[in-house]
Structure 1
Amino acid sequence: MKNDGRTIEKNKKELSLKSMYFNRYLMVRYASALFFFTNLYWFVSLVMSQSALFVLPLILLVVLIISIAEQVKVYSDHTNDAKYTRYCYKTLLVTNVILLLPVYFSSSFTQLYPFLINESRSKLMIFFILMTGILLSTQILRRLNKIKHNEDKHYKRIKQYEEVIN
């Protein structure tokens, strides 16, 4: 009977550690969900507007799905180096920077956002959304870099917890 109690306690500690390692990526998962649904909305809007540029958000969705799959895998197989997720956020960052150009300097605004009226308020809204994407991508890339080098706050807490349970 004592052996069963020890096994249960050991399993709880292992599960707790597994969850702590997984939670290092919590902000990344929330940001991925935000980018996924934003790009999904943009994709559907472009398809409904019969724009040939629907391919752009479609590619971003595929990249995000690969990243999300990696995030799911992290739960069962912990890694510090989420390379597909890093690639995803670099892609999102570059895409958002490139998409800033048509907002004010090109006539492609109506092709990229045919569901919006080509006026300054619409352009300001898109500018704000793209800048938010740039800042969020940059923040996530910083977070991923800290995780990769075990410099994040969660890692320190995990190590403290491991010392306590061992």
Structure 2
Amino acid sequence: MTEKEKQELEQRRREHAITSLYYNRYLLVRYATALSLFLYLYWTLMLYLGKSPFYIMVLPLALLLFSGLSMWEMAKMYTREQPSPKVTISFYKVVLGTNFLVIALCLAQQSSLLFPLFRTSVTSLAIIIGGHLLASLGVIGILFRLKRIEAKQDKQFLRIKTYLSSIT
């Protein structure tokens, strides 16, 4: 390998490292989105197996499609010039609203419509409501993280700045 080829290889390695650092700013968001995609898939299957009417399955199906769009947007973020993840931010806002809607429906004794395979009992209601409250806290945390990333105030961005200053 000539000296020029070694320099080009080193330059490509640095560019790839920088791009990966930018991409990894959204690592938690990508994993949370993937988790939500599978949760909505299982929820849809549970409704289907419980022979629920289609109009009830629309909610998890819509969330499933929306999470797929969000994952697509996250996959396209492998670049140094990262646009604002508008679809992902909207997705998590919709998820937050959906969590509160599910909690309200459960409190109104309608949990059997949304979760037909669960028995209607105090324990199952507590699990459903508690799970959605915890999920809502996670969603709020992700929305705050996305806000910090957009404002370039996240820890990973500071690491990128440190790395860039060390190689120049």
**TM-score scaled to structure 1, two decimals?**
0.96
Tell me the distance in 1 between the aligned counterparts of 2:21 and 2:75.
14
- Residue 93 of structure 2 corresponds to 90
- Residue 38 of structure 1 corresponds to 39
Aligned ranges 1:11-160 → 2 under 5 Å? 11-52=12-53, 53-76=56-79, 78-104=81-107, 106-160=108-162
Q: CA deviation at 1:80?
A: 4.8
Tell me the distance in 2 between the aligned counterparts of 1:78 and 1:48.
44
Q: CA deviation at 1:151?
A: 0.5
* Amino acid aligned to 2:68: I
1:104-147 per-residue CA deviation (whole Å, 9 max, x = no partner) reads 2x232111111100001100110121012101110110000000
Tell me the distance in 2 between the aligned counterparts of 1:19 and 1:137.
24
* Amino acid aligned to 1:84: V
Displacement over 6 Å in runs of 4+: none
RMSD (Å), alpha carbons: 1.1
Q: Which runs of 5+ in 2 are unaligned?
A: none
Q: CA deviation at 1:2?
A: 0.7
Q: CA deviation at 1:63?
A: 0.7
Tell me the distance in 1 between the aligned counterparts of 2:138 and 2:83.
20
Q: What SS does the corresponding residue of 1:103 show, helix, strand or coil? A: helix
Q: What SS does the corresponding residue of 2:77 show, helix, strand or coil? A: helix
Tell me the distance in 1 between the aligned counterparts of 2:50 and 2:99.
21
Q: Against the structure 1 CA distance between its residues 162 and 77, is the aligned structure 2 distance closer, same or farther, given a 3 Å change threshold?
A: closer
Q: CA deviation at 1:76?
A: 3.9
Tell me the distance in 2 between the aligned counterparts of 1:39 and 1:74.
23
